[in-house]
Amino acid sequence: MRSSEPVRPFESPELEFEAALELELPRMRALLRRHGEAPSSSPPPLLVLGGRAPDPDWLRKVSLGRETWALDRGADACRAAGVVPSRILGDFDSVSDGAREWAERMGAKTDRYTPDKDDTDFQLALRLLSGDVVVTGCWGGRFDHAFSNVFSSLWAMERGVRVLWFADEREVLFPLRGPAKLELDFEIPPSALSLLSLTASCERVSIENVKWPLDEADLAQGSPREISNVPLGRPVRVEVRSGVLGVYGECR
């Protein structure tokens, strides 16, 4: 991930960004600035999907103050962490009977769908939401599930639902829709930091405080080279002017 161009100051005088939206994660702090989008006054709801279960302590911390929805086997992760979801949703083909019954006893609203459906459980949830949302339980499983989740978030953007992050204690992905800026401050620097063009192209991408900085580079989805960068300072700053840029970190 190299650029021979000098890096200019991380400023965008021709664009006005709204006040920063603080995205707090255990051992990580992110500030998001979006053009023309004011931050919400309340914490975005948390969706717990049925992939790799997040560490119970991590899930307890990230769920504080948030409405939590458990999607199918995500109810098992919630039960293990003692996080009571307000809603459980899905076709329930993978959740344990014990976790489903526990959530219902604790007062969770239940939305049960037939397994013979067109939408995934995640897509069903996105149809019921609006505004910002955060997602966990999304890593560590099949590639096709991860692919569907990430690109379903792009589909949801067109409907006014914005996934701010997909994360657990090991991995995080911020889908950053331009024009936007992201500032990352890690308690422990990630072992890898990558930029992924989630749309056909991302224009005028910059990143600083890394080993291989970029200054207003255009990235192509079909030529993903900006992989495994190394943070050098704090904070790491990323900007994209157009397109949807995936900012991925592997956390130690």
pLDDT digits (tens, 9 = 90+) for 154-183: 999 999 999 999 999 999 999 999 999 999
Q: Do domains 43-169 and 171-252 have the same CATH topology?
A: no
3-class state of residue 147 by DSSP: helix
Please tell us whether the domain made up of 43-169 is placed in CATH 3.40.50.10240: yes
pLDDT digits (tens, 9 = 90+) for 184-203: 998 888 889 999 999 999 99
74 close to 48: Cβ distance less than 8 angstroms:
yes
pLDDT band at 136; cut points 50, 70, 90: very high
83 close to 46: Cβ distance less than 8 angstroms:
no
What whole-number percentage of the chain has pLDDT above 90?
74
55: exposed, middle or buried (C-beta count within 10 Å: 0-12, 13-18, 19+)? middle
Question: What integer pLDDT is reported at residue 148 of this predicted model?
Answer: 94
- The C-alpha angle with vertex 239 and arms to 235 and 242, in degrees rounded to 5, equals 165
pLDDT digits (tens, 9 = 90+) for 61-106: 999 999 999 999 999 999 999 999 999 999 998 899 999 999 999 9
Structural domain spans, the chain = 43-169, 171-252
- The C-alpha angle with vertex 223 and arms to 218 and 227, in degrees rounded to 5, equals 85
Closest of 221, 30, 56, 31 to residue 137, by C-alpha: 56
In CATH, the architecture of 171-252 is Sandwich (2.60)
